[in-house]
Each structure stands twice: as structure tokens, then as C-alpha cells.
Chains A and B, each alone.
Chain A
Amino acid sequence: QKEVEQDPGPLSVPEGAIVSLNCTYSNSAFQYFMWYRQYSRKGPELLMYTYSSGNKEDGRFTAQVDKSSKYISLFIRDSQPSDSATYLCAMSAPNFNKFYFGSGTKLNVKP
């Protein structure tokens, strides 16, 4: 079993839709949870960073962590064509030197 599972998509939605991206994980030691956005031929860009459980909101983006279910989500409200990219989830634990990534979900927002 992989440490982190993420549906690769692709996910295609119309402009203005609410997008839900999800990852599941197996290691209960994970405490730090990240979402990255990666445009084609670019490095991943950090979108959201949360510690432990709960929600975090930043503009149109909301990150949720449910540690009891080992499940994390990223919601994008009022999606725009510029949101079209691959979204990667990542996680780590205190004093771990490694980060564990999902395989990425490719999102296409149609005008």
C-alpha cells in the first residue's frame, strides 16, 4: 500500500464550479499537510499548509484535514481557467526528513 493515494484524474469542470480534490494516507504519524499546484513545465508551488486536523481557508481555496479518517481535501470555489494545473498533496511528520506525495490530480477548468 502506498503511503499517500490520490486520484490522478483528469478532472474536467466548467468555469465557476466548485472543485474537490482528495488524498488518503496510511501513516497516522503525519501531522503536516500540504497542497501544491504545478503548471506544465514548472516546479510545484505551495498553495496551502496545515498542521494537524481542521480547516484552513485562503481566498477561493479551503484545505480540510480529517485525521480520524486519514483523509485530506482541497476545495476550490469559483474555479477559473487559470486554475487548470496538476494538484499534488503532500504530508510529513515532526522531525521526519522526508515528504510523502500523492501522484497528482490533473484539473482542467473549461471557459
Chain B
Amino acid sequence: SQTIHQWPATLVQPVGSPLSLECTVEGTSNPNLYWYRQAAGRGLQLLFYSVGIGQISSEVPQNLSASRPQDRQFILSSKKLLLSDSGFYLCAWTKNNSPLHFGNGTRLTVT
């Protein structure tokens, strides 16, 4: 069966510091991978998605970037965090028109 791992679960970072969140999927190959952000009490905002290694589509121009260095690895990064980057970050995967499957998320607080 397929599993998705996302870490860390919580993170507190100062303004201006870098960020790296990692997500890996096991049990499948060539999945579509996604990063979402969820503000408190709000819906899901799609940030990036990837249909293959090195292929990144950005949905929202902002302070973040994404990379997919390996087939089942998706990384969300920032060079300098802003207060507005605080939120709940979710990684998800799908394949062949199946539903999205989410990780357990990373709660980021920028202080």
C-alpha cells in the first residue's frame, strides 16, 4: 500500500530564516505531487504541483519555491521566511485520476 510521509510535524522559525519541508511517498512510482497551505479556519490553497522529476507548476507567486529532486520526493523551500508564511502545510499525492491522499501536515509558525 502507499504511504506519504511529511516532516517535521511542527516548526517555529524566525522571520528571515530559511525553510525546507520534505515529503516522500512510498509504494508507488511517478505520482503527481502537491503542496497546499491552509490558513487557520480557511480552505486549502494550492501552492505547487509536480507531474514528474524536475517539473514544477507554481500556482501562487510568493516567497516559496518547490523542487522534486527524485520521483517520490517533494520539497518546499524558502530563502527568507515572512510572518505571512505561517500556516499549515500539506503535501499530497495522486496517480491516474485517483483521489488526492494527504500527509499529516506541518504546522509552521514564523515569529
Residues of A near any B CB (own CB < 8 A): 32, 34, 36, 41-46, 49, 88, 90, 92, 94-95, 97-99, 101-104
Residues of B near any A CB (own CB < 8 A): 6, 32, 34, 42-44, 46, 49, 51, 57, 88, 90, 94, 97, 99-105, 107
Distance in angstroms from B97 CB to nearest chain A CB is: 6
Q: What residue in chain B is nearest A49 (Cβ atoms)?
A: B99
Contact across chains for A46 and B105 when beta carbons are under 8 A apart: no
- Answer whether A88 and B107 are a contact pair too, CB < 8 Å, given A34-B100, A95-B97: no
Which of chain A's residues have a CB closer than 8 A to the CB of B107? 41
Q: What residue in chain A is nearest B107 (Cβ atoms)?
A: A41
Q: Which of A41, A88, A92, A94 has a CB less than 8 Å from the CB of B44?
A: A88
Which of chain A's residues have a CB closer than 8 A to the CB of B103? 43
Q: Is the interface of B mostly helix, strand, loop or mixed?
A: strand
Contact across chains for A97 and B104 when beta carbons are under 8 A apart: no
Q: What residue in chain A is nearest B105 (Cβ atoms)?
A: A43
- Answer whether A98 and B42 are a contact pair too, CB < 8 Å, given A43-B103, A43-B104, A46-B101: no
Distance in angstroms from B50 CB to nearest chain A CB is: 9
- Top 7 closest A-B pairs, CB basis? A103-B43, A43-B102, A43-B104, A49-B99, A101-B44, A43-B105, A34-B99
Distance in angstroms from A72 CB to nearest chain B CB is: 14
CA gap between A44 and B92 in the complex, in Å: 10
- Answer whether A32 and B99 are a contact pair too, CB < 8 Å, given A43-B104, A97-B49, A98-B49: yes
